[in-house]
A and B are shown apart, each in its own frame.
Chain A
Amino acid sequence: MKNREEAQKGFDLATGGLLFYSGLDRTQPFELDAEGLEAAPREVEQVDRGMGTALELRPEMAQVRAGLKATEALVKAEESNLYPQFFLALDGVYAQAGNRTRQQNPWAFDPLNDRYTAIVLGFKYDLDFGITRGKIRAAQAEHLKVGEMKLFAEQGIPLQVRKAHRELDEAKETLRATEDGWRNAKKWLVAAKANYDLGVGESRELGQAAETYARLRADNFRAMYNYNLALANIEHATGRAVKEEMK
């Protein structure tokens, strides 16, 4: 009874979630196109290969790699402020009016009869008394922070992959055990029912057999769910889930 209530609660919650994500409201008819829970075994990568894949595919790693590039560029940009900015300018005028006398007097200026070329070389340098150095250090600190995050991710992600594999092994073992358990309970139920039908078995034993069968079948379903979840966790830990999602 307790299991049934728990299952109903889980079912209602999952149905509500599905309705929400599919944009439907609770008043609309909703039926799942599924035929019960089944363990869906599939091949998973070896732990070592999975760890390599994770470092390549995990979105966190992609973020950290992009962050490193960005902060490196920021450091370079700030460092460029340490040096003066040189510039070169070129200026020139050519004006000629045929009906006007060209002025030879250096004090008389005729813009309609004029020509000159000028080259200007200059540089700009801010005297900020250490502000630039401070900005560089801030950018470098940010870069180091992202670098540390990368190191942390490189250590943590393989650990997650290993943990996901261990959980899968455990889930597989539990699934096998519950499989054997409910099959044996089924045999007990068949035997108890046969004895009851012949009048040589107690109804109490039949009840116990039925209860054990129901309990072990529920355990088996839970183990199937955990096994499928463990498989999904490996996909998530190796980053394959996101890759599939993006396809």
Chain B
Amino acid sequence: MTTKYSVIRCGWKTLTLIAAAVAVLWMPGQSLAGPATDQVKGTVDQVLKILTDPALKGERKTKERRAQLRQTVLARFDFSEMSKRSMGQYWKERTPDERAEFVGLFTDLLERAYVDRVEGYTGEQILYLEETTDGNYSEVRTKIVTKRNQEIPIAYRLQRADSKWAVYDIVVEGVSLVNNYRTQFSKIIRTSSYRDLVKKMQAKVEGEEGAELGAPKSKVR
């Protein structure tokens, strides 16, 4: 009788655990890791592989290394979507040519900034914390832990097209880059003009290109 009771109790316990696990997995939009995380992780791993590849180390390999980094980043980021969201209400006022020009400038500058930043990688730990998915949108929350144990929260906001998840926004320390750019672009357009915004971005690209050709570069990272 005692044995039977204990078996029944054990069975209930197992069933409860399975039910709890199923409930967690079925919770809409909540999972610890999912396809979006896998794809972000794949890109980050690829970036780290390039950065740690001995064949791509050193000043002489900078061009090659950066080209590979840009290619990897470009494959995961949807810069047109980022541009569109960053322009906000002013996007629909732009002609197709203006849009193409803007996306080009935006992509170039963001790529440079991102590549610049990841090149400063010195073995920090990257933790994948949580993924929240709602239909075709997902947010992958990560955390960078520095060697001095400082934590930098970074969240990737992604949009799905077929089976590919593409990043359309990055939230660093709680600051959404797209929201920030939207505010800044809107301010410039309101107080000056769209042309002035483009001019500023063009000047920055030229400055960066000049720096790549050997001119002294800003040490601000």
Q: What residues make up the interface of A, taking CB atoms closer than 8 Å to B?
A: 35-36, 183, 186-187, 190-191, 193-201, 203, 206
Contacts and interface: CB of A to CB of B under 8 A. Distances in A.
Interface of B: 106, 109-110, 112-113, 116, 148-149, 172-175, 177, 180-181, 184-185, 188, 197, 200-205, 207, 220
A196 B219 CA distance: 12
Contact of A36 (B116, B148, B177, B203): B148
Contact of A198 (B172, B173, B201, B220): B201
Given A35-B148, A197-B113, A206-B220, A191 B203 contact: no
B144 to A, nearest CB: 13
Contacts of A199: 109, 200-205, 207
Given A194-B113, A197-B109, A198-B109, 14 more contacts: A36-B148, A187-B175, A190-B173, A190-B175, A193-B220, A194-B177, A198-B113, A198-B181, A198-B184, A199-B109, A199-B200, A200-B185, A200-B197, A201-B184
B149 A35 contact: yes
A35 B150 CA distance: 11
B188 A200 contact: yes
A interface majority secondary structure:
helix
B178 to A, nearest CB: 10
A32 to B, nearest CB: 14
A35 B188 CA distance: 43
B219 to A, nearest CB: 12
A196 B181 CA distance: 11
A200 B202 CA distance: 10
A191 B175 contact: yes
Contacts of B116: 197
Nearest to B117: A197
A206 B204 CA distance: 15
23 contacts: A35-B148, A35-B149, A36-B148, A183-B173, A186-B173, A187-B173, A194-B113, A194-B175, A194-B180, A195-B180, A195-B184, A197-B109, A197-B110, A198-B110, A198-B113, A198-B181, A199-B202, A199-B203, A199-B204, A199-B205, A200-B185, A201-B184, A203-B220
